[in-house]
Structure 1
Amino acid sequence: MAFVGRDGELRRLDGLLAEVGSGVGGSRPGQCVLIRGRRRIGKSSLVEVFADRSGAPSVFYTAAGATAEAELAEFTEAILGSTLPDREVFDDASPGNWSAALRQLASLLPDDRPSIVVIDETPYLMERVDAFEGILQRAWDRELSRKPVLLILIGSDLSMMEALGSYGRPFHQRGREMVLGPLSPAEVGDMLGLAPAEAFDAALVTGGLPLICAAWPTGAGLWDFLATELANPVSPLLVSAERSLAAEFPESAMAATVLAAIGSGERTFTNIARAAGGISHTTLTRAAETLVGKRIVAAELPVSTRPTKERRYRVTDPYLRFWLTFVRPYLPEIERLRGDITLERVRAGWTSWRGRAVEPLLRESLARLLPAGSLPAAPVVGAYWTRSNSVEIDIVGADREPVARELYFLGSIKWLERAAFDDHDLLALQRHRAAVTDVPVPLLAISRGGVTATGLHAAFGPEELMTAWRR
């Protein structure tokens, strides 16, 4: 698969390796980078491509969640199979613990040229090896950083990778951080040869995951892609989410149950509890905290000048949201090779599902695009709602969240192919503005099917929003 959309990350890694090279002969030429991102986002592939292109001696080790002893044995095997010079040292004398292994590794790294050491799935070692963070910190301070080496630590558990470099932890301020996100809508569109509106659809279904995008034929439409994928029970679209969730929640069935309830479309605490089987307040709170902590679910409050407790939950990854809604409940059907039935179900529910699922992506696009015309850049681009949904505003630009001092603009999203944002839609937006503020803040519309209303301060379509991702 062509490595699309990672040029910036490759340049950054190249720059770090160049820093290491320029420090050869110095007292501490070593550099460390901590790379985190969701599973199957392409972190390992990025680093493999970088290491191969660099031509530097390197070792790539991937932890597997086994015992500390088994992980140590695999680490030794990775070094023996690497391109590091003098790697045979590990064959002659196998280290008995991780401290010895890292010390021995440092001894064989070259002194006169840069090398690369990669430890993938670092959180597994943090869980399975006693005091691993302290062991790593001592090895880095005493041996590894004194060599011209680029140490790359990779992890899919976002909270654990954030903790690794946080204040009060042994490895604090010893590594730079890099967050690898999904392919942007523009990158998805470029990779698949799609126009902006269709690229946004593809970004929703694939989540920008390279593995799923790679299965999408260039120029193919959404329904052709889904027909092919749903007919194959082992396609990336079907199995990627299942594998990721199995790795995220190997022993937390309740978190998976709550996630399924949120993914099915439930957004409020009460409705989620009911959909999850009537679980208790305490159990749901604990599960929700787990999901939010892992960045799989977002817990959001309305943005307005008045405080509110009307919290709502949503699945952050649009692909996972699509999978939980349209795929997971019907896997037995797909496994019986009746993906055609599943496809018709997606067709029937697509417009309604997309209308809600696309909103966070469009808000982020707008935030990246601003300032534009008379609209200022906004530190926060969120939404507003009431408990009864009698007032819902799709876009709220403000100076802070959730309780703003000042509202910069309000807006509405209408994401339909053959229906423009018209005067009726504008009137509804004006009524909702009056329910939120007495100030005549600017109004804007985001519409897939065009805008016919007069009196808006700004309007954006797929083409304008896509430019935000190309800056």
Structure 2
Amino acid sequence: MVDFLNLDLENLKLKNLYLVFYDILYKGVVKMFINREKECEFLKRKLSSNKAELLVIYGRRRVGKTFLLQNCLEKALFFTADLSSSIHLMNRFLDEIKSILALPSTLRISSWDEFFGFLKNVFEAKRDLKVVVFDEFQYIPMRDESFTSVLQRWWDEIFSKLGVKMILCGSYIGMIEKIVLTRNSPIYGRRTGQYQVLPLDFFESVKFLNFESTRDFVKAYSVTDGIPLYLLEFSGYRDFYTALTEKVLTAGEYLVEEGKFLTLEEFKDPSNYYSILQSIAQGKTVPSEIADISGVDYKSIGMYLSRLMELKFVNKEFPFFINRKPKRKPHYYLSDEYLRFYFRYIYPNQELIYRNLKEEALRRITATLDQHVSFTFEKVARQYLIKREGVEKVGRWWNKEIEIDVVAIKGKTLYVGKCKWTNKRVDIRVLNKLRSKVPYLLKDLQVSDFSIIYYLFSKSGFENLEESDEVKLIDLERLFLVNQ
């Protein structure tokens, strides 16, 4: 990366242009590295070891894996895969090292063994070069199932003995887990570490944004879900609706089609999957409801949900438990906020967006947006308890008739919470209703000697309520204090 701080701008004819470029690029780099210190520390620790390392770095697309690697690794070979044929990929990878080995530009190869042979020559010729990254790694074995076995053999016989640090980086979480991290994978017993790069939580995400209203931060999180690249799209705006209109409801902006790119290549026929994803995005969480709304036959819905869970587009959640998983049926949710927003609002309204009918698209979204954001607010509340109380486990709890938004545990203390994303202030009735649910929770968890702390989270504040040791009142202003 160019060091813009050390450029001699006085001698540049386009000084002002470079200053603008610096302002955009360098500030973006600073923001993109928010809360990635742990990941960078992991990489540097592994790469400074005195032994060979085979590392797996994986996570959702756009979460910043490649950016992290490019900025944490001082010197490395990068090979980025795609859906091209194996022959095309191996020869494109070879092009990256031809100059290092002074190979003829016309040289072509036809096997991975040949490629790894040349890669071995690189490490032997360049003693100071020991790091190699295969980015979007999952595409290679998708095209050639024998690749992982070939890689395993070269790792065992050659690269591990040369002290090579090899990083396999992939975007499709379920696929990477299947290809690399399962016990029947040829690479399973060879890896020396793995790290899942996660989206930023709400409290780190807000550092990207410059909104005037605290409510807008939660709304933006309900669209971006802590994905750095999405957050940067919203970072130049002072209010949420302007950012939403210009970056999500404007034809040509990449967030309009991003959901399609994230999911489409996974499915030969996406129609049923898209119908299911839309149903879940609308708040349907059990298979019977999902089948009814999506139009997919109930007998087949389990197969589709299993595939979506394998790809990590959908999560299966059970009611909060301590010692034993409850026998009740699980609920299904979309794995991140952007996909939930995309399938609820962007995908169904794409025609309006491409006809430049932004106002009508925005009207349709705002009609139910508070309902959408209320689910996000629960997610933020759970993150708050992790950050503020250091809870050991957190989730939601329900039975046939009762639901509790937030339940967490730390030692012998249960934290029970209610989240209200409404324009009404929270009063004693909300607290009393929450208290009335706790005996059912305790019976289900089979505990009796736990202390209870009640947390009320409110978009619009409180009235006729006072905080105490057992009752905590968290409005939006106080929510942000957790970062201080």
Shift of 1:197: 4.8
Is residue 385 from structure 1 mapped to residue 398 from structure 2 by the alignment?
A: yes
SS at match of 2:219: helix
| Rounded Cα–Cα distance in structure 2 between residues aligned with 1:218 and 1:76 | 41
Contact 1:122 1:154 in 2 (8 A): yes
The change in CA–CA distance for 1:246 and 1:434 in structure 2 (over 3 A counts) is same
Contact 2:83 2:143 in 1 (8 A): yes
| Rounded Cα–Cα distance in structure 1 between residues aligned with 2:413 and 2:308 | 30
The change in CA–CA distance for 1:230 and 1:162 in structure 2 (over 3 A counts) is closer
| Residues 33-64 of structure 1, C-alpha deviations (whole Å, 9 max, x = no match) | 2111112222222223334xx1x2x3221211
In structure 2, the residue matched to 1:16 is 46
| Rounded Cα–Cα distance in structure 2 between residues aligned with 1:96 and 1:278 | 44
In structure 1, the residue matched to 2:426 is 421
In structure 1, the residue matched to 2:59 is 37
Shift of 1:254: 2.8
SS at match of 2:187: coil
In structure 1, the residue matched to 2:96 is 78
| Rounded Cα–Cα distance in structure 2 between residues aligned with 1:419 and 1:152 | 51
Shift of 1:162: 1.9
CA RMSD of aligned residues (A): 2.7
SS at match of 1:394: strand
Is residue 313 from structure 1 mapped to residue 332 from structure 2 by the alignment?
A: yes
Paired letter, 1:413: C
In structure 2, the residue matched to 1:403 is none
Contact 2:87 2:109 in 1 (8 A): no
Q: What percent identity do the matched residue pairs reach?
A: 22
Shift of 1:465: 4.7
In structure 1, the residue matched to 2:286 is 268
Shift of 1:146: 2.7
Q: TM-score by structure 2 length? A: 0.83
In structure 2, the residue matched to 1:181 is 198
Q: TM-score by structure 1 length? A: 0.85
In structure 2, the residue matched to 1:441 is 452
Match of 1:159 among 174, 177, 200: 174
| Residues 176-234 of structure 1, C-alpha deviations (whole Å, 9 max, x = no match) | 11111123323321122347654333222112222222222435211110121244212
| Rounded Cα–Cα distance in structure 1 between residues aligned with 2:356 and 2:228 | 25
Contact 1:382 1:395 in 2 (8 A): yes
Match of 2:415 among 409, 413, 416: 409
Paired letter, 2:103: V
Contact 1:261 1:272 in 2 (8 A): yes
SS at match of 2:131: strand
The change in CA–CA distance for 1:343 and 1:300 in structure 2 (over 3 A counts) is same
Aligned length in residues? 439
| Residues 233-258 of structure 1, C-alpha deviations (whole Å, 9 max, x = no match) | 12132121111111333445433332
Where do residues 293-304 of structure 1 align in structure 2 (5 Å cutoff)? Answer: 293-303=310-320
Contact 1:188 1:202 in 2 (8 A): no
SS at match of 1:458: strand
Match of 2:121 among 107, 131, 136: 107
Contact 2:97 2:122 in 1 (8 A): no
In structure 1, the residue matched to 2:364 is 345
| Rounded Cα–Cα distance in structure 1 between residues aligned with 2:257 and 2:139 | 22
In structure 1, the residue matched to 2:37 is 7
| Rounded Cα–Cα distance in structure 1 between residues aligned with 2:95 and 2:478 | 51
| Rounded Cα–Cα distance in structure 1 between residues aligned with 2:48 and 2:232 | 31
| Rounded Cα–Cα distance in structure 2 between residues aligned with 1:162 and 1:365 | 29
In structure 2, the residue matched to 1:459 is 473
| Rounded Cα–Cα distance in structure 1 between residues aligned with 2:132 and 2:296 | 49
Structure 2 residues not aligned, in runs of 5+: 1-24
| Rounded Cα–Cα distance in structure 2 between residues aligned with 1:79 and 1:199 | 46
Shift of 1:294: 1.7
| Rounded Cα–Cα distance in structure 1 between residues aligned with 2:169 and 2:480 | 30
The change in CA–CA distance for 1:354 and 1:152 in structure 2 (over 3 A counts) is same
In structure 2, the residue matched to 1:374 is none
Paired letter, 1:80: K
Match of 1:59 among 74, 77, 99: 77
Shift of 1:380: 2.5
| Rounded Cα–Cα distance in structure 2 between residues aligned with 1:466 and 1:247 | 39
| Residues 116-156 of structure 1, C-alpha deviations (whole Å, 9 max, x = no match) | 31111211111211321111111112222233433121111
In structure 1, the residue matched to 2:385 is 366
